[in-house]
Chains A and B, each alone.
Chain A
Amino acid sequence: MYLSIKGLSKSFGELEVLKDIDVSVEKGKVLTIMGPSGSGKTTLLRCLNALEEPTGGDFTFADGFSLDFGKKVSKQDWLRLRRKSGMVFQSYNLFPHKTALENVTEGPIVVQKRDKKQVQEMAERLLAKVGLKDKMHLYPHQLSGGQQQRVGIARALAIEPELMLFDEPTSALDPELIGEVLGVIKELANEGWTMVIVTHEVQFAEQVSDEVLFMDGGYIIEQGPPKQVLKEPKEKRTQQFLQRILNP
């Protein structure tokens, strides 16, 4: 186990978006979250990165670090939680005033104060890994959506996180560009990264996941290995969702 989440809840005012979520993230495994929009899947992912502040529940990490959201969480703990994971956004959110390379080096150099030259080399390696070595001096607006998202992945990897988070990484992409991004994510899965991915790509989820979570209305409806949840779902809502997505 890498992280155990117990009783996680999140409300925006009156609106309860996450209700009593129990889930564990296994080390070196890929957890995929699926579900209709408004089901709370993105909120769950953002809680892992401290982009949302849970209203209750707790996180326990394998290294002993734990957070109880029922109490006030200190600033240091928020920061510590955030620095455990790298985040890849649906809309990339690259820094438009920095080149691809600078996007990747920004975190390690500015925040982690690592050696500039070493970071530079590492960033070049990461960009080569996502197939963008020849584009590293270009600005985001000079790149296609798929290329931008691959820079986004390299940027998240550069801070050397324990956990990689993906928030619908291909939803903003043209169909012909989806493959190149999913390819990179699959490669990371093969390398043994611990990952949590929110996606609508059923086929991809089937190939890459060790565990699939189906959410609806703020609850986990169904959970299990991809073959079970995606091929023989027990719950009616999962069946309906998959049907809609596979036969639009």
Chain B
Amino acid sequence: MSLLNNVLLTITGDMGGWELFKNSLLPMITGGIKYTVPLTLISFAVGLVLALLTAMMRLSNSRFLRAPAIAYVSAIRGTPMLVQLFIVFYGMPSLNITIDPFPSAIIAFSLNVGAYASEIIRASILSIPKGQWEAGYTVGMSHSTTLKRIILPQAARVSIPPLSNTFISLVKDTSLASLILVTELFRRAQEIAARTYDFMLIYVEAAILYWVICFLLSLVQEAIERRLSRYTAR
């Protein structure tokens, strides 16, 4: 601890910095646990379901299914996430639909993940050789059974690295929710910084916390990848 103290002393110039660092840790971590993490997990889960649905629509033979999926992906990818967030939170009330900050954020982030991840899932499904579909059919499986039992398990492995990217981006993007009044990690940091004027210390602290979360997540990613690749030649 004394080494850390010394480092902080050089950054902050006095021991007050260290005290501030310690004191602001709890509110920030609380904000992280109460909002950042649930926001990330729920949005990602909902987003994945949307993504799978969208990917299946895009891969279907019917134009009426493909067209809305293409439009959805294009609209989400073509507009800033912050604008989407503002439309849901500040825009919807003019249509007499008022949504609280947290659910607003969930809606916006889920839609966002849904669009990006759908392209990842679609590409992963397309990367599985046609012969795998045919092998499924020849043992008597229907299209949907083949998809579920043969194609998706293989596509899952292919899609883990790019999906992890999306997930980690999402963790960091949740800081945008601070702008629609969700008191997540970064919002807490802003509140403390506004009170103490110690912007450098507080924002670096917030950065470190995000980094720690993302680092832990990348460990999880590695574990999942290892598990899913046990059946492939290295």
Contact = CB atoms under 8 A, between A and B. Distances in A.
Contacts of B137: 50-51, 82
B154 A96 contact: yes
Given A95-B135, A106-B139, 16 more contacts: A82-B138, A82-B140, A89-B135, A91-B131, A93-B132, A93-B135, A96-B232, A97-B157, A107-B140, A110-B141, A111-B145, A112-B140, A141-B231, A156-B139, A158-B139, A159-B139
Interface of A: 49-51, 79, 82-83, 85-87, 89, 91, 93-98, 106-107, 110-112, 139-141, 155-156, 158-159
B133 to A, nearest CB: 9
Contacts of B131: 89, 91, 93
B153 interface: yes
A50 B134 CA distance: 10
B143 to A, nearest CB: 10
A183 B213 CA distance: 58
A96 B231 contact: yes
Nearest to B142: A79
Contacts of A95: 132, 135, 150
Nearest to B149: A110
B223 interface: no
A96 B150 CA distance: 9
Given A89-B134, A89-B135, A97-B153, A141 B140 contact: no
A106 B231 contact: no
Contact of A97 (B139, B154, B233): B154
Interface residues of B, number: 21
B138 A86 contact: yes
A98 B132 CA distance: 12
A91 B130 CA distance: 11
Q: Which of A51, A85, A111, A139 gathers the greatest number of chain B CB atoms within 10 Å?
A: A111
Q: Which of A94, A107, A156 gathers the greatest number of chain B CB atoms within 10 Å?
A: A107
Contacts of B231: 96-98, 139-141
B135 to A, nearest CB: 4
A231 B24 CA distance: 91
A87 B138 contact: yes
A22 to B, nearest CB: 25
Interface in B99-126: none
Contact of B138 (A49, A96, A98, A141): A49
Interface of B: 129, 131-132, 134-135, 137-142, 145, 149-150, 153-154, 157, 230-233
A97 B230 CA distance: 8
Contacts of A156: 138-139
Nearest to B141: A111
Contacts of B129: 93
Contacts of B140: 79, 82-83, 107, 111-112, 159
Contact of B139 (A51, A91, A107): A107
Contact of B145 (A86, A94, A110, A140): A110
A122 to B, nearest CB: 14
A93 B134 contact: yes
Contacts of A89: 131, 134-135
A97 B233 CA distance: 11
Contacts of B230: 139
Contacts of A91: 131
Contacts of A98: 231
A86 B138 CA distance: 6
A240 to B, nearest CB: 32
Contacts of A110: 141, 145, 149
A158 B131 CA distance: 19
B145 A51 contact: no
Contacts of B138: 49, 51, 82, 85-87, 156
A111 B137 CA distance: 10
B225 to A, nearest CB: 14
A7 to B, nearest CB: 25
Nearest to A106: B139
Report, nearest first, the 10 A-B pairs whose CB atoms are least far apart. Answer: A107-B139, A111-B140, A93-B135, A93-B131, A141-B233, A87-B138, A139-B231, A97-B231, A97-B153, A107-B140
A51 B135 CA distance: 10
A85 B140 CA distance: 10
Contacts of B142: 79
